[in-house]
Amino acid sequence: MNLSLSISGESSLVRKFEAISVKTELGTRKAIVKTLIEIHEMALRLVASGPRTGRIYEKGGRLEPRRTHQASAKGEPPASDTGDLLTSLRWYIDTVGLWGQVGSDLKHAYWMEFGTDPHAGTNNPGIEPRPFLFPAAELSRRQMVEQVREDVAAALQALKV
């Protein structure tokens, strides 16, 4: 005795599954872009106007005007001085995979985020970390998960699945 099973309309079902895959990928990509923008904006806010309790000192000299600067203390986001760090922050979304990144190509961005070791043979004690990207990502994490959920659900709803 044999039992036969067949599915009628299988090509329609396959097309539906393919459409679900495409729509959920688009929904996820949309959520990733929104999250990257949020992390980027949060990092900019932290560097531009985060708390400042570091030392206050005069900068400038013969070739540039003298000005007062308040540095960040260890653990605080870096205090913007020249604006180089702010203008170097960028976000990128991969065009093939489902990933992106926020960051800077400035060496001192890495040194600020993670700190540096003391310099051997000198009195330079190194730099304590002054993170700004990781805290921005942490502040956006819950929103990112919810955004993926919403955008994928909206994509599926558009298919009436």
Please write the tens of the pLDDT for every residue from 67-88. 888 889 999 999 988 899 999 9
Number of residues written out for the chain: 161
Mean pLDDT of the chain: 86
pLDDT at 109: 95
**Diameter of the chain measured on Cα atoms:** 99
Tokens of 52: 């400042």
pLDDT at 5: 65
21 burial type by CB count under 10 A (0-12 exposed, 13-18 middle, 19+ buried):
exposed
d(CA 22, CA 31): 14
Distances (CA, A) of 40 to 15, 35, 107, 108, 117: 37, 8, 18, 17, 27
Each residue of 56-70: pLDDT tens digit?
A: 988 887 888 888 888
Tokens of 154: 């909206």
Helix (H, G, I), strand (E, B) or coil at 125: coil
Residue type for position 151: D
**127 against 159, higher pLDDT:** 127
Cα angle 31-12-22, degrees, rounded to a multiple of 5? 15
Other CB atoms within 10 A of residue 139 CB:
15
116 burial type by CB count under 10 A (0-12 exposed, 13-18 middle, 19+ buried):
middle
Minimum mean pLDDT range among 93-97, 98-102, 106-110: 93-97
pLDDT at 6: 61
